[in-house]
Structure 1
């Protein structure tokens, strides 16, 4: 061991909790230089949905894949329905799509709110800051809040106290808000988080003026709430930049962002692959790939064909010698062997070795023709807002993308006037800006929902109350659904043969953000963001909590359920016996 290596301290956080405990972060830290020099991210349980989807009736796909996650299950159901619509050649009635959009907007509001205030917000609360940076808390107590008149907290310290778990007033208020947003979702799709009225071809929701009025009543309370939240978070996040010079480097990585777009516009979307380029650009959240701050493409066909699944340091065998399910897409473009349509999942568990294989998470990459880019979603909102801002394609009254920012106009509410917020493209893709974008995207989702309610009510009042279109399942087809899960990019690739699913691969944001070192040695986004992070925590190594590392990881909104399901094959009866009551028991 060299002198430099002997100064490194190995530290691990496994499991990282607050949502699910299958994520491990393993680091080497140079405490003399106060910097993380190496990081490995692990996911400890095998995900097997791609295996047990095989042979299923494709009409069941959204009900099954919804169970991938108990947090964003509706995003999976939605994406699966999109893939089925393409495969079946069905276009839902406009009202059905507006209802689905209202459900998805409510999910964004619900999930971002509860994560921002009740999970990641804890990292910035008074108690946490007191334990890790007491000097920062002293400064916070002396620092006036620039927007105190908007949110009601006189100092930054007051904001931090309001975020204290269970006892903070804002923490408790956010929990109440999350309840109303979940009710909004249930009004549209029957049940949260596994929709009961969402189907290919539309929805089974009975559309009435009362239904949308009930939604709108809750929505306007949320709009009122966001008029306080946005300036409050701006004050808090801006304070960290001034209190800790250099804090912009925490969680910072190269700007490599991916957004697959979300909230389809039923005036344009027909779900045909052949027209996907056009209707994709009409989404209310614009798809896009951003490299070093520049928008590379907004074309969903180009995005689709660029997806590659690399194995690298994950516990799987390669499929280079296996069957290719799709060689060309519906437009005649060649499809790569490493594309999800052609993926074979062959698990091979092994002892964890950071010089070899160490995680169940594969390494999705986007191939730009030269490099396999380790895109991240930034937790979802920063990629969505960045792509939408640069594309300049969204303009519907409540939201306008300008080419360098996104204008969000929230209408007048009972207690507050009409308010416009502007999310501006930041200098960095780092922990603070990922978190800030999450707040602004809540406002963005609320503004979209106001518009969707108006369009849905117009349909009902015009007598257009049909919400579902019948369809037939083809014998053979291949299709894709694209949307944005709460935490970022989500795609479902499906191949149908003889009326049954032959291949099915859902790719949520978890494997993109939490991927491991790929075939070319490129680290995944968690790894990349953490291993460049400076240490600002004031505690010595023996009392080190790793708050800067945790802020870097949690800024991505890590949610491992999408990567942690066990596949047990067909099962095995070990012993058969008979109970005294004559009942056969298998154990």
Structure 2
């Protein structure tokens, strides 16, 4: 059971003590990990005054990677997470490809793209419909906003002919966990997409056929046909999903004026790009700017809606790891080694770059005025400011960056500069359908969720392209999937891709043929970061602090649904966010509510 702890706050201004209540949701349910949200809620002004995001486990991958054979890096780092392990394995393989100076045969790279595309479809589907979707289901809305549910029951769904649900209330009922028709249908789709992944990479979620230099997958016409038959069923499903979610999310804007401010924060989005084009990607650092722009999801840093850069070299150089309010000692002093002074292009490397990071745990009692979490504070430095970028849960940043760049153009997907057009071909029961995701006005909870839906359709359309390219290779007799390599005695390298939840980079230093330093940076350290040395809150904290309260319940029965929608819109996954500290061996046990609904103690 997730517990809300309540107590009046004496720090409130312009209100009585009882108006501002300190509340804690710890742990947050329906996610993986140990995320806690500690907030001060002003019930008179119906807004969150203050928020702190915490994570209570330390894992230490960057410590025990030292001295390992670099060829084991993807097998080890895959175990960082039981959700996006293949994203880590893929990023580590990219990292190793750079270190070893090797690129897979084109067919090998298409197979990796097909595996990653299947993972995006699988994970976004199960999270959106079976985890986040519960926040918008009939049972949840009945408990938190009965007036909204009454309105939903009387509101015709604009796209009922496409998804089959007459009213918005019917859509909400279809999302009820275990009982809802759409909820159960989505579970079946998750099984299909997991099958697709295993066809390409052998095992989910820790691939068994993925290696530096390519894959061990045996490429046959039957393999890609099996993938494609499942993919077309998923495409047909997406023709229902996109209009269904548009109807649901648009209704919340209509029913609750001002709901665009729930989870809203400044547009500070980061996307590292993913899904390489083997015709351009040779994994050489010296060419990274060029092949990065050829990715099928285009990298970019977006500030206040403007594209600051799409250059992976600039993106790499700008990464800074700040400690701030986290449980670590600093390493920027004369006692700690500097591993890398300049990149392969001669650019200076900062002491706070992951290549130079030292992980020195310093456990302490939680103190919101000092250290309070095991999550560090990664930032992106633009030359003047350390920006607290977020990933928009992954898809929002990916779609926004790809749209603004306007570089992707295939038969089925086109980036226009302000939108992304997605065409899903004719399927068994539905005609060819085109969707268009347009850059929204806000970076908020609703738009993070909406982008997740459209990105599923985008990935499905790309996967069709990847299958066609792979089949062309096989038919031409180019069936090699792996390129031999040698491990150098000395190297520095990096890999860039997108985990399901957003930006993912792996940074490695090799000395004497062994790993001297290795730091993976997934999306959750960015999204779930804590206040840094400049006092800047992390994205979870910032988004919750900006959130108005629309829930109809009084304080004594408050569920915090608007806060939960905000946090879960980022698709939190804490195993990747923290680096396991056992302490004195004390054991702490949590019991999770089967519905994920928070209850007062």
Q: TM-score, normalised by structure 1?
A: 0.96
**1:169 maps onto 2:181 in alignment:** yes
**1:245 maps onto 2:245 in alignment:** no
Paired residue for 1:57, among 37, 55, 69? 69
**1:280 maps onto 2:292 in alignment:** yes
Contact 1:114 1:174 in 2 (8 A): yes
Q: What is the distance in 1 between the residues matched to 2:123 and 2:58?
A: 25
**1:103 maps onto 2:115 in alignment:** yes
Partner residue, 2:278: 266
SS in 1 for 2:14: helix
**1:562 maps onto 2:576 in alignment:** yes
Paired residue for 2:41, among 4, 22, 29? 29
Q: What is the distance in 2 between the residues matched to 1:301 and 1:285?
A: 16
Partner residue, 1:367: 381
SS in 1 for 2:264: coil
Deviation at 1:66, TM superposition (A): 0.2
4+ residue segments displaced more than 3 Å: 1-5
Partner residue, 2:23: 11
Q: What is the distance in 1 between the residues matched to 2:65 and 2:524?
A: 19
Deviation at 1:102, TM superposition (A): 0.1
SS in 1 for 2:150: helix
Which structure 2 residues correspond to residues 574-585 of structure 1 after superposition, within 5 A?
none
**1:421 maps onto 2:431 in alignment:** no
Q: What is the distance in 2 between the residues matched to 1:532 and 1:36?
A: 7
Which structure 2 residues correspond to residues 131-146 of structure 1 after superposition, within 5 A?
131-146=143-158
Runs of 5+ in structure 2 lacking a partner? 1-9, 586-601
- RMSD of Structure 2 on Structure 1 (CA): 1.1
Partner residue, 2:589: none
Q: What is the distance in 2 between the residues matched to 1:565 and 1:393?
A: 36
Q: TM-score, normalised by structure 2?
A: 0.94
SS in 2 for 1:517: coil
Deviation at 1:17, TM superposition (A): 1.6
Partner residue, 2:595: none
Q: What is the distance in 1 between the residues matched to 2:32 and 2:433?
A: 37
SS in 2 for 1:222: helix
Deviation at 1:564, TM superposition (A): 4.4
**Which digits, 9 at most, give the CA deviation of each residue in 1:63-102, with x for residues without a partner?**
0000000000000000000000000000110000000000
Deviation at 1:563, TM superposition (A): 2.8
Contact 1:398 1:448 in 2 (8 A): yes
Deviation at 1:4, TM superposition (A): 3.2
**1:456 maps onto 2:470 in alignment:** yes
Q: What is the distance in 2 between the residues matched to 1:449 and 1:222?
A: 11
Partner residue, 1:575: none
Contact 2:35 2:56 in 1 (8 A): yes
Q: What is the distance in 2 between the residues matched to 1:295 and 1:509?
A: 19
Paired residue for 2:347, among 333, 345, 356? 333
Contact 1:495 1:503 in 2 (8 A): yes
Q: What is the distance in 1 between the residues matched to 2:32 and 2:267?
A: 27
**Which digits, 9 at most, give the CA deviation of each residue in 1:188-220, with x for residues without a partner?**
000000000000000000000000000000000
**Which digits, 9 at most, give the CA deviation of each residue in 1:378-435, with x for residues without a partner?**
1000000000000000001111000000000111101111111000000000000000
**Which digits, 9 at most, give the CA deviation of each residue in 1:16-74, with x for residues without a partner?**
02122400000001100000010000000113100010110000000000000000000
Which structure 2 residues correspond to residues 462-481 of structure 1 after superposition, within 5 A?
462-481=476-495
Deviation at 1:551, TM superposition (A): 0.2
Aligned residues: 570
Q: What is the distance in 2 between the residues matched to 1:4 and 1:458?
A: 69
Contact 1:22 1:564 in 2 (8 A): no
Q: What is the distance in 2 between the residues matched to 1:329 and 1:26?
A: 40
